Structure 1
Amino acid sequence: MGAGGRRDPSEYTSIICEVFYDASRRKNGVRPVVGQPFPNDMKVECAKAIRALPLGTQIKLSVVETEKEGSRPFLYSSYKWAYDIIK
């Protein structure tokens, strides 16, 4: 990781994700669709606006795998970045 916690842009991967209802958190979440380079059960931390899209909406995001101490790995995409709605 670079200075100030910033990552090199080459560390990010562009994948297709979907909005789903996360029963464990009782709110919408985002996860990779089946067939992407990450497991479908990984969660994506991203903009609230993306999580507010209708369930099943597919979005193309740039993500990086990360983890916080004491938690399982997850994918991160900055809330500031643009995203593309696929369907």
Structure 2
Amino acid sequence: MKKEEYSYIIVESYKPKNTSGLHGEIHIKPIAGQEPFTEDMHVRCSKDLSTKFDVGTKFKIKAIITNKDGGKPFIHSHYTWPFEVLK
């Protein structure tokens, strides 16, 4: 498998309709039009994005798609990395 590169992407906070199997009430997802980063992918990143800003806030993060332990692919951005809040 080819080693993927990190990319800067735009994500937003949202409240999923179904939280079964998810942790917490507010989650982060990529905005549309950033393939291969799709809106249905989970994003693992700093909890600050989901706890310190209003739902619907958009952020620019540095991220990569991974499938740790062979599971469903998800987006990873290290929790200590800086992020940009977009207006």
Q: TM-score range by the shorter chain?
A: 0.7 to 0.9
Structure 1, unpaired ranges of 5+: 1-7
Distance 1:14 1:74 in 2: 15
Q: Are residues 1:51 and 2:50 paired?
A: yes
Q: Are residues 1:82 and 2:82 paired?
A: yes
Query: Structure 2 residue aligned with 1:18, among 9, 12, 23?
Result: 12
Distance 2:8 2:15 in 1: 22
Measured on the aligned residues, the alpha-carbon RMSD in Å equals 1.8
Distance 1:58 1:76 in 2: 16
Structure with more relative contact order (C-alpha pairs < 8 Å, separation 6 or more): 2
User: What is the count of residue pairs matched by the alignment?
Assistant: 79
Structure 2, unpaired ranges of 5+: none
Q: Could you state the TM-score of these two structures normalised by the residue count of structure 1?
A: 0.80
Partner of 1:29: 27
Out of 51-60 and 23-32, give the one that drifted further: 23-32
Identity of aligned residues (%): 33
